Amino acid sequence: MAEHKTPALAVDGLSAGYDGPDVLHGISLTVPKGQIVTVVGPNGHGKSTLLRTISGLTRLRQGRILAEGREIQKLRPHQVAAAGIAHVPQGDLLFPEMTVYENLLMGAYTTPVAETVEKRLDFVYGLLPRLKERHGQIASSLSGGERRMVGIGRGLMAGGDVMMIDEPSLGLAPLVIEQIYEVIGQLRAEGRTILLVEENPARVAHLSDVMHLLDDGRIVWSGAPQDLLEREELLSTYLGG
Partner 1 sequence: MDVTIAILVTGLTNGALYALATLGLSLVWGSMGMLNMAHGSMLALGGYMVFTVAVSLGLPVWAGFIGAAAAGAVFGGLLYLGVVRPLLKAGGPGFETSVMIATVGIAIGLENALLLVYGGRPLPQPFAVPGSVQLGAGVMPWLNAVIVIVAFVVMAVMGYLIAKTKMGRAIRATAQNRDAALLMGVPVERTYLQVLGLAGALAGICGVLLSSITQLSPTLGADPMLKAFIMCVVAGLGNLPGAVIAAFGLALIEAAVQFALGARWGFPVLLMLVIAILIWRPNGLFGRAQIRRM
Name the site residues for partner 1 (rule: CB under 8 A): 55-57, 76-79, 81-82, 86-87, 89, 93-98, 102, 105-107, 109-110, 154, 158
User: Given the complex with partner 1, which of 4 and 76 has the nearer CB atom?
Assistant: 76
Nearest distance in Å: CB 81, partner 1: 4
The single-letter code of the amino acid at 200 is N
Nearest distance in Å: CB 222, partner 1: 27
Contact 50, 214 (CB under 8 A): yes
Q: How many CB atoms lie under 10 A from the CB of residue 143?
A: 13
User: Given the complex with partner 1, which of 109 and 125 has the nearer CB atom?
Assistant: 109
d(CA 58, CA 235): 29
d(CA 116, CA 122): 10
User: Given the complex with partner 1, which of 25 and 154 has the nearer CB atom?
Assistant: 154
Task: Return the exposure string of 95-108: e unless at least 16 CB atoms fall within 10 Å of the residue's CB, then b.
Answer: eeebbbbebbbebb
Nearest distance in Å: CB 119, partner 1: 18
Nearest distance in Å: CB 59, partner 1: 13
Contact 162, 169 (CB under 8 A): no
Nearest distance in Å: CB 47, partner 1: 16
Contact 19, 188 (CB under 8 A): no
User: Given the complex with partner 1, which of 25 and 52 has the nearer CB atom?
Assistant: 52
Per DSSP, the three-state class of 177 is helix
User: Given the complex with partner 1, which of 3 and 97 has the nearer CB atom?
Assistant: 97
User: Given the complex with partner 1, which of 43 and 79 has the nearer CB atom?
Assistant: 79
Nearest distance in Å: CB 154, partner 1: 7
Give the chain's end-to-end CA distance (angstroms, integer): 39
The single-letter code of the amino acid at 11 is V
